[in-house]
Structure 1
Amino acid sequence: MDSMLSAAASSAHPVPVPAASQVRRAVIASVIGNGLEWFDFLIYGYFAKTISHVFFPVGNAFLSTVLTLATFAIGFIVRPVGGIVLGAYADRVGRRRTLSLLILLMAASTLLMGLTPGYGSIGIAAPLLVLLSRVLQGLSVGGEFATAAAMLSEYAPRGKKMFYGSFQMTSQAFALLLSSACGYLLTTHLDRASLEAWGWRVPFLLGALIGPIGFYIRHKVAESPEFVEMRERLGHAPQQSMRQFLRERSDACLCAMGVIIVGAATNYLWHSFLPLYVERQLHLPLKNALFGTAVSGLISIVAYPLAGKLADRVGAWRVFFPVVVIWAVIAYPLFAWVVAQPTAERLFTAQMIATLVLSIMSGPHPGMLTQLFPTATRSTGVALSYNVAVTLFGGLAPLTVTTLISFTGSNLVPAYYLIFAAIVSLLLVGLSRSGRRLLRDPDAVPHD
């Protein structure tokens, strides 16, 4: 009965079909902030060792690194808070206004990171300012992925939701390529003293320049047609308490977290944490990891949209399970092969295999998440689910894995971590009502 009423209401207020130029502008507006987010996070991970010397000179290399990674993790810890607040804001006032606000917050946090003097200049104020930068970024990023994914999905034609959503992942791949290439050039052309003195700051300052450009593009884009239709149909902004949302959408949230967990763990271990792992555990030059990461970014730019097309054709939920199972099976032998004889060639081969699996697995993720929630609570639902999953299994992964390696002495901890993440993902998606429903009917969507 509810679906019949919803269908009747939708026919009374049909979703307007946007012009091709509006769609292109919406895609660019949606992905540019996500690219800046990932550029900043990846650069921080690549230069974690250098940043630890600049801001956390405690006289103990391990403790200094842990403090740096803990600060990295704090940006993730506050993300669910930002996701709840800004996701609800996007569901009330619209995607366009929220995206414009988010790009300014991200640019400000990136600029603060690039301009903060070192510990030797201003003492304890230096790590505190870095902490502030990470908190501001975490809050803004909390709403970024969800709002941008909602915008892409709501602009996408029927039957192309996964393909359009995959551009969100493509922006991450472009940021991966750009950040790793930037890191590779700096580490190969600057000595250690220059890198610590000023070299590591260059990527952050360049990233901050994207802010004003992104704001201009986002400010000019039209509001999502599905959001406009929903507002006209309801006659007012959506009003739903968090208690009501959790009561009605908790199953969808658990399913969404299951979708993200394995991809987040893989992404952050193979891209953000890998350079530190390569230097400290494998004792290979940083440039080896950065070169492979740059190539991974280049491949992913093409692979993510192809994965989105595949998901639209055969059903994203039918692709999800076999790919995650395959990844759980090969994660250990892949790491063991590299650890047994750490060489640049083996590392590069493993990076390429991980990149292909991750692309197929994660390309459809934005479309899959937005499919779980109705328009009225889409940004809230995606933001809450995405940020909790990424915080626990992505942002905390470098700190968790580094600590476990220190306690166990095993360089294979990352493989065990990925297997655990894959099992949790399979259980959450497979046992949820939402996951089983979408496995049976890949086109099913909830109604407002």
Structure 2
Amino acid sequence: MSTSTMTVNGAMGMSKKAIFFTVLGNALEWIDFASYAYFATVIAHQFFPTQDRTTALISTFAVFGVGLIARPLGSIVFGRLGDARGRKTALMFAMPMMGLGTLLIGVMPNYAQIGIAAPICLVICRLLQGFSAGGEAGNAITFLIEWAPPRRRALYACLQQASGVFGTVFGSAVAAVLSTTMTHEALESYGWRILFIVGGAVIAPVGFYLRAKIDETPAFLEQQHANPVNARPETTSTTSTWTACCKAIGMTMIWIASYYVFLSYLPAFLSTHAHLPSGVALWGNTAGLITMATSIVLSAAISDVVGRKPLLIAVASAFIVLPYPLFSFFLSNTSTPLLVMSLVGVGALVGVFAGVFPATMAEMFPTRLRSGGVSLAFGLATAIFGGFGSLISEALIKITDSHLSPSYYVIVAAIISLPFILSLKETAHQPLK
């Protein structure tokens, strides 16, 4: 075997190892972060006791949103760290923070035990989780796309979202199992804590260990090896970088809003407002998430062939017309099989955007700014349009006295995002900057 062949095979082996451990670590981290949403109704009783169930749920979702407020700060810190010290370094620092925040939620006393200190401590833990998540997404997307072959960038980059969804699926499935097999009293007393404790004490350390085994991306190493004194600096201006960041946020709005409304908030909506058993709502949500994961990979592979814009335009247009009839359907006391089928369809649609846009974002920034740019755009969009999606949905119901009002939020998000998508320059078959 020639030296060149051995070099190529070695590079391919390092690439596969780096991709596998990054994807697995990302899935483990998202098990921790998503657990909060699936036990929202239980947490509402534990930390926000009130006679008004809707007010308690709004308070719980407000804390969920507060956790995502920390994402932009985490994206700035970890994005800069990823551009300066390496994507691997940033990913390794993010994991222990997530684990600590998750574990503390699992062992925290409730309102009946420590009073107002309980919701205050809950906010602090969510801030810690959100800070970690802000450093996770952008660096993972950047890491994956910089290891990708030129014609498979979307397929590689989408693994950040696919693995995150699989982690969320696992959390949703565990929540569904606990809700189905435990009595209501047991679930309220200690059952909801199980996933948080396991996530913080077991999953996070495993994820950190795996990330210690990965290699830095070739693109970053090449950038680092360039002589900053003698080399001619890149001409990418601050203005163009911020323009790309703003465009990415605008395009991401519908992706984030549709995901957090249909696949994060919906189980609580179905349980509270459609009066479905929580186990049924969680199992239906799990089916939607599984479909989303499959759709992510398929749509990414397709976009590597036909381009990013056609798929993004199609999905944004669909979310202008579909949310209102979907929420009408959810409230019609329909059969469980039809409910699951509708959630499967929604999961497929959300998955198309989640499969295509990670690569699209990464292709908008140069190597020296990619981790920071992607982290900031994704972190801001998630904090603004996703973190408060559940809160906005519940508040709209309370203000309008209409259970259909959450659909308006998704429709408006789609209307805003579509012009940004139409203005996008196709990047699928262009080299990375």
User: What interval of TM-score do these two structures reach, taking the shorter chain for normalisation?
Assistant: over 0.9
Give the aligned partner of residue 430 of structure 2.
444
Give the aligned partner of residue 271 of structure 1.
263
Give the aligned partner of residue 382 of structure 1.
374
Give the aligned partner of residue 338 of structure 1.
330
TM-score, normalised by the number of residues in structure 1: 0.89
Q: Which amino acid aligns with 1:318?
A: P
Paired residue for 2:214, among 221, 225, 235? 221
Instruction: Please say if 1:284 is aligned against 2:281.
Output: no
Shift of 1:323: 2.3
Instruction: Please say if 1:95 is aligned against 2:90.
Output: no
What SS does the corresponding residue of 1:284 show, helix, strand or coil? coil
* Aligned residues with identical type, % of pairs: 33
Structure 1 residues 129-176: Cα deviation after superposition (integer angstroms, max 9, x where no partner) = 211110111111111100000000000011100000111111122123
Structure 1 residues 27-51: Cα deviation after superposition (integer angstroms, max 9, x where no partner) = 2332234323432333211111111
In structure 1, C-alpha distance between the alignment counterparts of 2:281 and 2:10, rounded to whole Å:
43
Distance of aligned partners of 1:119 and 1:73 in 2 relative to their CA distance in 1, 3 Å threshold:
same
Paired residue for 2:292, among 293, 300, 303? 300
In structure 2, C-alpha distance between the alignment counterparts of 1:39 and 1:224, rounded to whole Å:
25
What SS does the corresponding residue of 2:150 show, helix, strand or coil? coil
In structure 2, C-alpha distance between the alignment counterparts of 1:118 and 1:35, rounded to whole Å:
28
Instruction: Please say if 1:414 is aligned against 2:400.
Output: no
- 127-136 or 169-178: which moved more? 169-178
In structure 2, C-alpha distance between the alignment counterparts of 1:102 and 1:70, rounded to whole Å:
23
Shift of 1:332: 2.1
Structure 1 residues 306-345: Cα deviation after superposition (integer angstroms, max 9, x where no partner) = 1111010111123211222123222222222332344423
What SS does the corresponding residue of 1:78 show, helix, strand or coil? helix
In structure 2, C-alpha distance between the alignment counterparts of 1:374 and 1:81, rounded to whole Å:
21
In structure 2, C-alpha distance between the alignment counterparts of 1:166 and 1:283, rounded to whole Å:
35
In structure 2, C-alpha distance between the alignment counterparts of 1:327 and 1:404, rounded to whole Å:
19
Note if contact 2:29-2:207 (Cα within 8 Å) is conserved in structure 1: no
Q: Which amino acid aligns with 1:118?
A: N
Shift of 1:246: 4.6
In structure 2, C-alpha distance between the alignment counterparts of 1:204 and 1:186, rounded to whole Å:
13
Note if contact 1:254-1:428 (Cα within 8 Å) is conserved in structure 2: no
In structure 2, C-alpha distance between the alignment counterparts of 1:28 and 1:18, rounded to whole Å:
15
Shift of 1:18: 6.1
Instruction: Please say if 1:82 is aligned against 2:74.
Output: yes
In structure 1, C-alpha distance between the alignment counterparts of 2:238 and 2:415, rounded to whole Å:
24
What SS does the corresponding residue of 2:274 show, helix, strand or coil? coil
Q: Which amino acid aligns with 1:155?
A: W
Paired residue for 2:100, among 89, 104, 108? 108
Structure 1 residues 220-254: Cα deviation after superposition (integer angstroms, max 9, x where no partner) = 11111110011112448x9x9xxx97523122112
In structure 2, C-alpha distance between the alignment counterparts of 1:49 and 1:200, rounded to whole Å:
10
Note if contact 1:75-1:138 (Cα within 8 Å) is conserved in structure 2: yes
In structure 2, C-alpha distance between the alignment counterparts of 1:293 and 1:58, rounded to whole Å:
27
Note if contact 1:80-1:387 (Cα within 8 Å) is conserved in structure 2: yes
Give the aligned partner of residue 151 of structure 1.
143
- 186-195 or 19-28: which moved more? 19-28
- 21-30 or 107-116: which moved more? 21-30
Note if contact 1:292-1:351 (Cα within 8 Å) is conserved in structure 2: yes
Note if contact 2:260-2:390 (Cα within 8 Å) is conserved in structure 1: yes
Paired residue for 1:394, among 345, 367, 386? 386
Gaps of 5+ in 2: 1-7
Give the aligned partner of residue 309 of structure 2.
317
Give the aligned partner of residue 5 of structure 2.
none
Shift of 1:446: 6.3
Q: CA RMSD in A?
A: 2.1
Distance of aligned partners of 1:330 and 1:234 in 2 relative to their CA distance in 1, 3 Å threshold:
farther
In structure 1, C-alpha distance between the alignment counterparts of 2:287 and 2:390, rounded to whole Å:
22
In structure 2, C-alpha distance between the alignment counterparts of 1:422 and 1:57, rounded to whole Å:
36
What SS does the corresponding residue of 1:76 show, helix, strand or coil? helix
What SS does the corresponding residue of 1:220 show, helix, strand or coil? coil
Distance of aligned partners of 1:253 and 1:446 in 2 relative to their CA distance in 1, 3 Å threshold:
farther
In structure 1, C-alpha distance between the alignment counterparts of 2:66 and 2:28, rounded to whole Å:
18
Gaps of 5+ in 1: 1-15
Q: How does 1:344-355 map to 2 (within 5 A)?
A: 344-355=336-347
Structure 1 residues 34-91: Cα deviation after superposition (integer angstroms, max 9, x where no partner) = 3234323332111111111111223432222221111111011121111111101110
Q: Which amino acid aligns with 1:153?
A: I
- 35-44 or 344-353: which moved more? 35-44
TM-score, normalised by the number of residues in structure 2: 0.92
In structure 2, C-alpha distance between the alignment counterparts of 1:323 and 1:62, rounded to whole Å:
31
Q: Which amino acid aligns with 2:73?
A: V
Instruction: Please say if 1:370 is aligned against 2:362.
Output: yes
Give the aligned partner of residue 232 of structure 1.
225
What SS does the corresponding residue of 2:250 show, helix, strand or coil? helix
In structure 2, C-alpha distance between the alignment counterparts of 1:269 and 1:124, rounded to whole Å:
29
What SS does the corresponding residue of 2:322 show, helix, strand or coil? helix
Distance of aligned partners of 1:47 and 1:30 in 2 relative to their CA distance in 1, 3 Å threshold:
same
In structure 1, C-alpha distance between the alignment counterparts of 2:251 and 2:132, rounded to whole Å:
22
Note if contact 2:223-2:368 (Cα within 8 Å) is conserved in structure 1: yes
What SS does the corresponding residue of 2:151 show, helix, strand or coil? coil
Q: Which amino acid aligns with 2:203?
A: I
What SS does the corresponding residue of 2:402 show, helix, strand or coil? coil
Q: How does 1:11-50 map to 2 (within 5 A)?
A: 19-50=11-42
Note if contact 1:66-1:399 (Cα within 8 Å) is conserved in structure 2: yes
- 26-35 or 198-207: which moved more? 26-35
Give the aligned partner of residue 5 of structure 1.
none
Paired residue for 2:320, among 328, 333, 345? 328
Structure 1 residues 183-235: Cα deviation after superposition (integer angstroms, max 9, x where no partner) = 11111111121111110011111212111111111111111111001111244
Instruction: Please say if 1:128 is aligned against 2:120.
Output: yes
